[in-house]
Structure 1
Amino acid sequence: MSQNKHTLLITGGAGFIGSNLCEYFISKGNRVICLDNFSTGFRHNIEHLIGNPNFQLIEGDIRDYTTCLKALDGVDYVMHQAALGSVPRSINDPITSNEVNISGFLNMLHASKEAGIKRFIYAASSSTYGDSESLPKIEDVIGKPLSPYAVTKYVNELYADVFSKTYSIETIGLRYFNVFGRKQNPNGAYAAVIPKFVMQLMNHESPIINGDGNYSRDFTYIDNVIHMNEMALTTQNSEAVNTVYNTAFGDRTTLNELVAYLKEYLSEFDSKIKEVPIIHGPNRQGDIPHSLASVEKAKKLLHYNPQYSISSGLKEAVKWYWENLK
């Protein structure tokens, strides 16, 4: 794919990952259409793009099929990021998560097929591994889902597989593992752990770790995720499409280690942060104990080459939060 001749639709383009994708692909000379209903995305994530001739914002909901079709006018490729994230949110309100993540996904996928889209790349999730205890996580070994959210993301993969076989639309699913970085929202009941902890520490408030802090995750910096999306978009390898990939760094960090990193990097800006105590609370329902991705499949088929480890990514993220949210 030449980088200056294509139009991309990025659904959920005002969200954390989506807005970073919008910014990046515009910088590479592409035309980008952002579709978002602002249920979890923010205008301030994309306001610097408004007025750019290569950027168009459509305010609309993927649950409306007509909106999906309209957004696809003139589009070559779709990067589907729109979803209601969060395991706890899906446990509290499974019906809305299902409507957005399954019905909305199917609307977007079917409309893409109708519009003759060249390739449909979508945000899948590491939650699909469910109760599988094997480590590292390998794409074709999954367990049973542990939350309504996990069910919705697995169903997305099933629909994509059926559509690629039945209608010959190219699909690639990216199973995101605990993505973090600039523009990730630190506020609200369903805020991700890293921005939430960063904000608490900057305010000298004690972060609450669920459980004993030995649960581990494959925390993945946003620039690795952008790189993965670009590799999925540009690959000419016929073996690389119509499948799913782990999108991660390929290393795991415990929550205790995570907080230690955050305190170390934030204390460079404010030495008092070193002294903020940590509180341990109960384990969270639906959480898996450990998560670690194998990224060998992505390296082999997509030439994925993640550049940011947890420590180098956290340094970048902490600096961004300090400069933008303090």
Structure 2
Amino acid sequence: MSKILITGGAGFIGSNLTEHFLISGHQVVVLDNFSTGHRNNISQHFNNPNFTLIEGDIRYMSDCKIAVEGMDYVLHQAALGSVPRSIKDPQTSNDVNVTGFLNMLVAARDAGVKRFIYAASSSTYGDSESLPKVEDIIGKPLSPYAITKYVNELYADIFSKTYGIETIGLRYFNVFGRRQDPNGAYAAVIPLFVKKFMNHESPVINGAGDFSRDFTYIDNVIQMNELALTTTNPKAVNTVYNTAVGDRTTLNQLVGYLKEFLSEYDDSISNVEIVYGPNRQGDIPHSLASVDKARTLLGYEPSHVIREGLKESVKWYWENLK
């Protein structure tokens, strides 16, 4: 049994990690300010003696120090996501994603945490046109959000070299799955489209629908976090990994899959029209990850490709949104 702190543990990814590690028998502490996370994502754990909730903010060092006390590992998921949000309000994104990240690193170092695993981002690849994306070839960032996530990697690298704390960054590629919030101005594309279809409303695709992404189901992300936490390979730490499937899907293909799976519950969804709008500022045209490094050093093998993950996600949304 390990003691694991999960920052942002009431969010989409964080709550799935919380559930997984509690089921695995670990003690889990969640630090969350509920700015984007939800209590109902973790409420089923409130009576679990191995679960502790700390309502706090990573922007405050005092909260960070309280949260890391006695912890073996940190899974740092807390952040303000969304490229459009960062373009609209770069200062708050920087405060949370950079200052908050540094606070957590310092607190973890001072508390003697064994390993600091953090959510990095595929946005770090920026304007690099090479495909597939490999970890050591990146371009210039295309948004304030991308800058903040790249700075996280730089800080983690310096802390591992200077202070000896083990760090592993996981560059998430378009993660989706159960508990991903379909509401709000910055909802991700899959839950947003699912909600639109279920309401018989037309989703809006930015551009012609030929932009592609390496959509990554939540169970693949859980696997990568567990491998990063448990690896005993000294060559596997103090580095970053793509956390993806290694396959890409266009937005038009994505819509086709969603219609197919949702029509199993409501056949009229197959007739919902799609609306096309302008391209979104800061978006990259194509994203495809190489997962060779994770396979070689961590033993990673994706459990779900896009269709399998979407089918499970659609079932979850149908049962929980209806």
TM-score by length of 1: 0.99
C-alpha distance in structure 1 between counterparts of 2:3 and 2:314, whole Å: 33
1:17-36 pair list within 5 angstroms: 17-36=13-32
Distance 1:157 1:31 in 2: 27
Query: Which residue of structure 2 aligns with residue 181 of structure 1?
Result: 177
Amino acid in the other structure paired with 2:275: I
Q: Show the 5 A alignment for 1:55-94.
A: 55-94=51-90
Q: Distance in 1 between matches of 2:2 and 2:268?
A: 49
Deviations 1:211-248 (A, max 9, x none): 00000000000000000000000000000000000000
Q: Aligned match of 2:250 in 226, 245, 254?
A: 254
Give a deviation string over 1:152-189, Cα, whole Å, max 9, x none.
00000000000000000000000000000000000010
Out of 292, 296, 308, the position equivalent to 2:292 is 296
Specify the SS of the correspondent of 1:29.
coil
Following superposition, the deviation at residue 93 of structure 1 comes to 0.1
Output the amino acid matched with 1:93.
D
Partner of residue 151, structure 1? 147
Is the partner of 1:19 in helix, strand or coil?
A: helix
Find the aligned partners of 1:84 and 1:156 in 2 and give their Cα distance: 13
1:73 CA displacement: 1.3
Which amino acid in structure 1 is aligned with residue 40 of structure 2? H
2:164 alignment counterpart: 168
Paired position in structure 1 for 2:186:
190
Query: What is the rounded CA distance, in whole Å, between the counterparts of 1:146 and 1:274 in structure 2?
Result: 35
Percent identity at matched positions? 74
- Of 269, 272, 284, 1:273 maps to 269
Q: Does 1:227 align with 2:227?
A: no
1:131 is aligned to 127
- Measured in 1, the distance between the counterparts of 2:36 and 2:253 equals 29
- Give the distance between the partners of 2:318 and 2:199, measured in 1 at CA: 11
Q: Does 1:43 align with 2:51?
A: no
Q: Deviations over 1:101-143 (max 9, x none)?
A: 0000000001000000000000000000000000000000000
Deviant stretches of 4+, over 4 Å: none
Q: Distance in 2 between matches of 1:305 and 1:34?
A: 28
1:284 aligns with 2:280: yes
Q: Report SS of the residue matched to 1:48.
A: helix
RMSD: 0.3
Q: In the alignment, residue 138 of structure 1 is paired with which amino acid?
A: V
Give the aligned residue type for 2:69: D
**1:74 CA displacement:** 1.2
Following superposition of structure 1 onto structure 2, how do residues 198-209 of structure 1 map, counting pairs within 5 Å? 198-209=194-205
Unpaired stretches in structure 1, ≥5 consecutive residues:
none
- In 2: Cα distance, 1:253 partner to 1:201 partner: 19
Q: Which residue matches 2:305?
A: 309
Correspondent of 2:3 among 7, 11, 17: 7
CA distance in 2, matches of 1:49, 1:20: 12
How far is 1:51 from its partner?
1.1
Residue identity matched to 1:300 = T
Among residues 232, 236, 240, which one is paired with 2:236 in the alignment?
Answer: 240
Match of 1:291, as an amino acid? Answer: S
Distance 1:207 1:265 in 2: 16
